[in-house]
């Protein structure tokens, strides 16, 4: 479900979900992890329409 809302938030691009933001090594060095862009699954125009409908539904 979170991935579906993520697609809306990212303008129709599916990003691979991840749980770890960073890894701290024993020497104190911090390695950041970044989300991986997978593919466009919905047109950006469609995400705008769906988001607008969700806002309208919440304000009625």
CB proximity list for 52: less than 8 A, separation 6 or greater: none
Higher pLDDT, 3 or 51: 51
The tokens describing 56, both together, are 């309208």
Q: Is the CA virtual torsion 23, 25, 30, 36 positive or negative?
A: negative
**Percentage with pLDDT > 70 across the chain:** 98
Q: What is the DSSP string of 32-46?
A: E--PEEEEE-S-HHH
Indicate if the pLDDT at residue 39 is higher than 80.
yes
């Amino acid at each position: 479900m979170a991935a579906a809302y993520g697609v809306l938030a990212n303008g129709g691009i599916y990003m691979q979900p991840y749980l770890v933001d960073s890894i701290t090594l024993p020497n104190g060095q911090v390695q950041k992890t970044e989300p991986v862009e997978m593919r466009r699954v919905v047109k950006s125009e469609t995400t705008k329409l769906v988001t607008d409908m969700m806002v309208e539904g919440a304000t009625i």
